[in-house]
Amino acid sequence: MSETRAEDPTRRNLPEELRNEYTVVGGEWQELPDAVDDDLMVINMGPQHPSTHGVLRLILTLDGETVLHTEPVIGYLHTGIEKSTEYRPWVQGVTFVTRMDYLSPLFNELGYCLAVEKLLGIEDDVPERAQALRVITSELVRIGSHLVWLATSGMELGAVSVMLYGFREREAVLDLLELVTGLRMNHAYFRPGGVSMDVPDDFDGRVRKLLVDMPKRIDEFERLLTENPIWGERNKGIGVLTAEQCLDYGATGPILRSAGIAHDLRKVAPYCGIEQYDFDVITTDTGDAYGRFLVRMGEMRESLRIIEQALDRLPGGPIMVADRKIAMPSTLGLGPDGIGNTMEYVNKIMGQSMEALIHHFKLVTEGFTVPEGTVYTAVESPRGELGYHVTSSGTNKPYRVRVRDPSFIHIGTIPAITRGLLIADVIAAVASLDPVMGGVDR
């Protein structure tokens, strides 16, 4: 693979002066256009651009309309979430990480909670109902995330109707998540040890309605796009990454699967009991933007299959570990002003039990302590391998939370997939990666 690397076209075929120039920030911008040949042109795209999926900035070196080199510039959405988690108790970390990749918030929470549970050594104690609810809700998020990808990609390629339909169908998913968690995004629903509250009674019926409706919608999308000649022209052969390149660049998820490698962490390193459900890993062998489209459409159907099976077998029982030193003692309920402590619980701690009040106070202000050590957990997010590399120093706060966000890794492939494309196709190529800048910059 090192030979491939040495001949990496993104580096080798550049003008000599540009080979070592990637980042152009601030004052260096002026030097770059001066440095290139008169025949070449340097164009700045973004960070505010309707087709860059957020605040992604691309510096394109063009020969006519052909892209010689693309340099992604990131960091415009950097909020220091990894640093912030080091100053808050373990439970509060959930509310931070859920804001990273804002299109798949529950996967962030899932990865973080699995890491904390692994550090605590309580993976096997998490109740089955909590595991199944995690699977159902996170697969719902996968459908919602792919729909946003479809909608925004369609819009960027000029298919506005796809944008409208995509966001409309996503509302159905968001309504379900709102029903369960109280929020449309940034749910903070998973907690180390389980989930924060049980699902309402009408959850089952409403998810089953989605299971009936959504396949029809996906059929509609496929009728609209799969054989559509314009959609094919814009996507086929665009943004190609071979399987070898994918591995070299660390690309996972739909990108790797579109290159023909059936790698899915839900199969090879299952979490939350997802191995007991029957589903297929969708692959194509084209490795281009069109292949990624087919993979994502197929994945939505597979997610529906998983949800249906999980719903059929949804066990009863608790939704949180039994250890009251970890589980929040409060019982949450939906009141007229949103989700909060139920009145029975408030009456109990305020009026009846001093010890319960002390316990509640200590857990809320101070949290639990986690044994020393480092773990790495990975979940298959809609974009690929979402890894949480969490270090504890034995205190009530994380010592270090590192997030291996797939979008961040995939941004690194942009020079490779855009080289030699026409400038209009850069949009399609970048869109096919489905980068979410909140996750890239963290």
Q: How far is the CB of 11 from other proteins (least distance, A)?
A: 7
- Buried residues in 400-417 as b, exposed as e (16+ CB within 10 A): ebbbbbbbbbbbebbbbb
Q: Which is closer to other proteins, CB of 172 or CB of 246?
A: 246
Q: Which is closer to other proteins, CB of 201 or CB of 365?
A: 365
Eight-class DSSP state of 198: P
Helix 128-156 to helix 203-225 angle (10° resolution) is: 30
Asked if 203 interacts with other proteins (CB under 8 A), we say no
Q: Which is closer to other proteins, CB of 74 or CB of 94?
A: 74
Q: Which is closer to other proteins, CB of 87 or CB of 336?
A: 87
- Distance separating alpha carbons of residues 217 and 64, to the nearest angstrom: 41
Q: What angle do CA 163, 169, 170 make, to 5 degrees?
A: 85
Dihedral angle of Cα 392, 395, 397, 403, to the nearest 10 degrees? 0
Residue 288: closest CA among 156, 429, 431 = 429
Asked if 29 interacts with other proteins (CB under 8 A), we say no
Identify residue 147 by its one-letter amino acid code: L
Asked if 402 interacts with other proteins (CB under 8 A), we say yes
Q: Which is closer to other proteins, CB of 120 or CB of 199?
A: 120
Q: Rg of the chain over CA atoms, in angstroms?
A: 23
* Binder of other proteins out of 261, 295, 321, 429 (CB under 8 A): 261
Asked if 39 interacts with other proteins (CB under 8 A), we say no
Report DSSP letters for 314-356, one per residue: ---S-SB-S-TTTS-S--EEEETTEEEE-HHHHHIIIII-HHH
Q: How far is the CB of 249 from other proteins (least distance, A)?
A: 5
Q: How far is the CB of 408 from other proteins (least distance, A)?
A: 7
- Distance separating alpha carbons of residues 63 and 70, to the nearest angstrom: 12
Asked if 355 interacts with other proteins (CB under 8 A), we say no
Residue 396: closest CA among 26, 91, 39 = 91
Tokens, residue 441: 């910059």
Asked if 83 interacts with other proteins (CB under 8 A), we say yes
Q: Which is closer to other proteins, CB of 88 or CB of 184?
A: 88
Asked if 99 interacts with other proteins (CB under 8 A), we say no
Which helix (H) or strand (E) segment is 194 a member of? strand 194-195
Identify residue 232 by its one-letter amino acid code: G
Q: How far is the CB of 227 from other proteins (least distance, A)?
A: 33
Asked if 264 interacts with other proteins (CB under 8 A), we say no
Q: How far is the CB of 81 from other proteins (least distance, A)?
A: 11
Which helix (H) or strand (E) segment is 305 a member of? helix 289-312
Residue 55 near residue 48 (C-beta atoms within 8 A)? yes
Asked if 8 interacts with other proteins (CB under 8 A), we say yes
Among 140-148, 193-201, 317-325, 395-403, the segment contacting other proteins (CB under 8 A): 395-403
- Distance separating alpha carbons of residues 323 and 336, to the nearest angstrom: 30
Q: Which is closer to other proteins, CB of 169 or CB of 405?
A: 405
* Binder of other proteins out of 63, 125, 248, 308 (CB under 8 A): 248
* Binder of other proteins out of 277, 397, 436, 438 (CB under 8 A): 397
* Binder of other proteins out of 311, 346, 399, 422 (CB under 8 A): 399
- Interactions with other proteins, residue window 314-343 (CB under 8 A): none
Asked if 110 interacts with other proteins (CB under 8 A), we say no
Among 51-59, 97-105, 331-339, 367-375, the segment contacting other proteins (CB under 8 A): 367-375
Among 40-48, 57-65, 331-339, 389-397, the segment contacting other proteins (CB under 8 A): 389-397
User: How many positions of this chain bind other proteins (CB under 8 A)?
Assistant: 67
- Distance separating alpha carbons of residues 254 and 221, to the nearest angstrom: 18
Q: Rounded to 5, what percent of the chain is helix, strand, coil?
A: 50, 15, 35
Tokens, residue 192: 């180390």
Residue 13 near residue 68 (C-beta atoms within 8 A)? yes
Q: Which residues bind other proteins (CB under 8 A)?
A: 1-2, 5-6, 8, 11, 19-23, 25-26, 28, 74-75, 78, 80, 82-84, 86-89, 118-119, 121, 245, 247-250, 252, 261, 263, 268-269, 362, 365-366, 369, 373-376, 378, 385, 387, 389, 391, 393-397, 399-400, 402, 404, 408-409, 411-412, 416, 441-442
